[in-house]
Amino acid sequence: MSAHALDHGLEDLAATARAAMVRAVAASGAFAADPRWQQAFATVPRHLFVPYYYVSGVGGCERRWGESPDPRTRERWVRGAYEDTPLATRLRDGELLSSSSQPSLMALMLAELRVEDGDRVLEIGAGTGYNAALLSYRLGDDHVTTVDLDPEITESARRHLDAAGYHPAVVTGDGARGVPERAPFDRIVATCRLASVPRAWIAQCRPGAIVLTPLATGLVALTVRDREHAEGHFLHTPAYFVPLRGQGRPASEPVALGGVPRRARESDLFRFLLDLTRGTLDPQEAYALWEREGMPDRRRYGVTVGAEHAWAWLDEPEGPYAWPLPGSTGARLVEP
């Protein structure tokens, strides 16, 4: 039995589970910025985009798949497909290569894009194709482009999209370079982590466009001023994504935190600051700043992309605390 052709019992289970997922996502407040996305999540069947996935279990990872001969496994697969949790969909030698993101985080990101009818959207990181399907439901196939470096990922995303009845442009290529042949874009959304914001994205946007991308362990929403300039703040939520393959892959070496007080070592917000200032501040400098500024949350940080430099900052782009993103120079840090 194909995962795309469920028996009647599993179809009913999928519909019930999808409705429960949508209620949970709505209760989280993820649709608050744009409630129109709720209908997209209620309509697009996530299980078509995850014909199999991996969950951690005793002794390693358990593979759940829709074509299992065991009906109980197929039921667990359907139920798991509609849990509000990320799903690992592609592993290689124990490394996570691709996943389906947590639906509530996807909903928050899509709502924060604040799309309007007619907007052209570029998605960086095709994944399973589920996010592109949601965008296509909202905007129409012709207005959506998704790109990924791995041809196996783009091919499987295309198959999933076809099965669900959506046909956006699926491009195989380096997402850091954008997709110039499909530009200009009104929105760019990345579903993979980067070390900096590629200038190619800014150049491929119309003035006033929004670029929403993971950076460090947060999400920054930039408004494009022109082909060389964009600026904006981080959202409040933490975000953990698979790194972009190809250009712009962020460093992932662990940071030694010896000498840093325990409350900082265990703080997600402190680790965000460390990741954002990697290569500029050492842990002791970062801790002194974090404590002095009252343990700032993500919304106090922002990013500016200029013609020659890109930098992250606290509170103000031209304020006392600023750190170059990879490829830039010129940190500013005022000591107390």
Positions annotated as catalytic residues are 98
CA dist., res. 208 & res. 211, Å (int)? 10
Which residue type is seen at 184? P
Tokens of 73: 């496994």
82 closest CA partner among 117, 48, 129, 46: 46
CA dist., res. 170 & res. 305, Å (int)? 27
CA dist., res. 40 & res. 174, Å (int)? 28
Tokens of 30: 């993820």
CA dist., res. 170 & res. 226, Å (int)? 26
Which residue type is seen at 93? D
Residues paired with 172 in a beta bridge? 148
Place of tokens 């982590």: 193
At 37 the three-state DSSP class reads: helix
CA 89 to chain centre: 15
CB of 223 within 8 A of CB of 201? no
CB of 312 within 8 A of CB of 302? yes
Which phi-psi region, left, alpha or beta, contains residue 290 (left: φ > 0; alpha: ψ -120 to 50)?
alpha
> CB-based contacts of 215: which residues, under 8 Å, 6+ apart?
193, 194, 195, 196, 197, 234, 276, 303, 312
186 closest CA partner among 169, 164, 210, 168: 210
Tokens of 289: 């700043």
Residues paired with 146 in a beta bridge? 123, 170
